[in-house]
Amino acid sequence: MVRFTVDYFGGWHDFACRECGWEGRGSELTPRIGATLFVFECPRCRSAVAGGSHPTHEDAKDAAERGNAEAQQWLRRRSRS
Ligand SMILES: [Zn+2]
């Protein structure tokens, strides 16, 4: 399996599918969230376009400290549960 990395808290734009040439934003991808990994599939051909392991608390903290709103939200959700 190909290893993908994506900046969970940053790069949700301008994805391209290597299989069929689809290009678009991360929000158009189909998410498949597993227990330890997440994968985003191409909406056209269902190839994995992006993915990785779930962010750790440290990843989120780093991003939140850089002022990333997604990461700040993620930490708030986490601390509630
Ligand atoms: Zn595709």
Separation of CA 68 and ligand 1 centre (Å): 29
Q: For 31, how many CA atoms within 13 A lie in the half-sphere containing its CB? A: 12
- The model carries a pTM of 0.60
Separation of CA 34 and ligand 1 centre (Å): 21
* The token pair that represents 31 in the structure block: 């998410």
Which pLDDT belongs to residue 13?
65
How do the domains of the chain map onto residue ranges? 15-80
Question: DSSP E strands: which ranges in the chain?
Answer: 15-16, 23-24, 30-33, 37-41, 48-53
Contact between 17 and 45 (Cβ < 8 Å): yes
Separation of CA 33 and ligand 1 centre (Å): 18
Tens-place pLDDT, residues 15-65: 899 999 999 988 888 888 888 888 889 999 999 988 888 888 888 899 899
Q: Which of 75, 51, 53, 52 is nearest to 63 (CA)?
A: 75
Separation of CA 55 and ligand 1 centre (Å): 25
